Structure 1
Amino acid sequence: MRLSLTPLGVLLGAIFSTAVLAQDSDTTTITDYDVISAPALSSDRIKSEVLIEVTTVGTRLIAVGAHGNIIWKEGDDWQQAEVDTSVLLTSIAFADEQNGWATGHHGVIIKSEDGGKSWKRQLDGFELMTLEEGYFENRIEKLNEQLESTDDEDVIGELEWQLEEAQFQVSNIEAAREEGPSKPFLDLYVKDSQTVLAIGAYGTFLKTEDGGESWQVISGRLENPGGYHLNTIFGRGDDLYIVGEAGLAFASYDGGENWETLDSPYRGSLFGGHLDAEGRVWVYGLRGNAFVSDDKGQNFTTVDTGTRVNLSAGTNTNKGTQLIVGHSGTILEIDDQLEVKNRTHPSGSVMTDIIEVAEGEWIMTGRSGLLHWPAKITEEEALATQQGAQ
Structure 2
Amino acid sequence: MWRFALGVMLGIALASSASAQQWELRRLGFTQNFNAIHFPTKEHGWIVGDDGLILHTADRGVSWQVQTSSVRRTLNDVFFINKRRGWIVGDGGVILLTTDGGQRWASVASVVEEDLYSVWFHDERRGWIVGANGVILFTDDGGRSWVRQISGTDEYLYHLHFQNEKLGWVVGSRGTILHTENGGRNWLKQSSGTQSDLFRVYFRDKKRGWITGSGGLILHTTDGGKTWVPVPSGTEQILLGVTFRKKEGWIVGWDGTILHSTDEGKTWRRVPVPTHERIYAIAMRDDREGFAIGRRGVMLVYRRP
Instruction: Please give the TM-score of this superposition, normalised by the length of structure 1.
Output: 0.66
Residue 57 of structure 1 aligns with which residue? 40
Write the letter of the residue equivalent to 2:96: I
Residue 261 of structure 1 aligns with which residue? 189
Write the letter of the residue equivalent to 1:229: Y
**Structure-1 separation of matches of 2:106 and 2:294:** 24
**Structure-1 separation of matches of 2:184 and 2:197:** 22
**Structure-2 separation of matches of 1:280 and 1:117:** 37
Residue 236 of structure 1 aligns with which residue? 163
Q: Which runs of 5+ in 2 are unaligned?
A: 1-27
Identity %: 24
Once the two structures are superposed, the pairs formed by residues 1-390 of structure 1 within 5 Å of their partners are 45-46=29-30, 49-58=32-41, 59-75=43-59, 76-124=62-110, 127-128=111-112, 181=113, 183-218=114-149, 220=150, 222-224=151-153, 227-237=154-164, 238-276=166-204, 279-317=207-245, 319-334=246-261, 335-336=263-264, 338-374=266-302
**Structure-2 separation of matches of 1:61 and 1:293:** 30
**Structure-2 separation of matches of 1:197 and 1:278:** 18
What is the deviation of 1:352? 0.8
Cα distance change on mapping 1:374 and 1:209 into 2, 3 Å: closer
Cα deviation, 1:155-180, whole Å, max 9, x if unaligned, reads xxxxxxxxxxxxxxxxxxxxxxxxxx
Q: Which runs of 5+ in 1 are unaligned?
A: 1-43, 129-180, 376-390
Write the letter of the residue equivalent to 1:333: H
What is the deviation of 1:229? 0.5
SS in 1 for 2:39: strand
8 A Cα contact 1:328 1:344, kept in partner = no
Cα distance change on mapping 1:278 and 1:263 into 2, 3 Å: closer
What is the deviation of 1:278? 7.4
List, as ranges, runs of 4+ consecutive aligned residues in structure 1 with deviation greater than 4 Å: none
**Structure-2 separation of matches of 1:340 and 1:60:** 29
Structure holding more helix per residue: 1
8 A Cα contact 1:265 1:291, kept in partner = no
Superposed CA RMSD: 1.9
Residue 17 of structure 2 aligns with which residue? none
Instruction: Please give the TM-score of this superposition, normalised by the length of structure 2.
Output: 0.83
Cα deviation, 1:193-220, whole Å, max 9, x if unaligned, reads 12221111111121122222222122x2
Cα deviation, 1:96-120, whole Å, max 9, x if unaligned, reads 3321111001110000111233311
What is the deviation of 1:301? 2.0
SS in 2 for 1:83: coil
What is the deviation of 1:251? 0.9
Instruction: Report which of the two structures shows the higher radius of gyration computed on alpha carbons.
Output: 1
Structure holding more strand per residue: 2
Equivalenced residue count is: 271
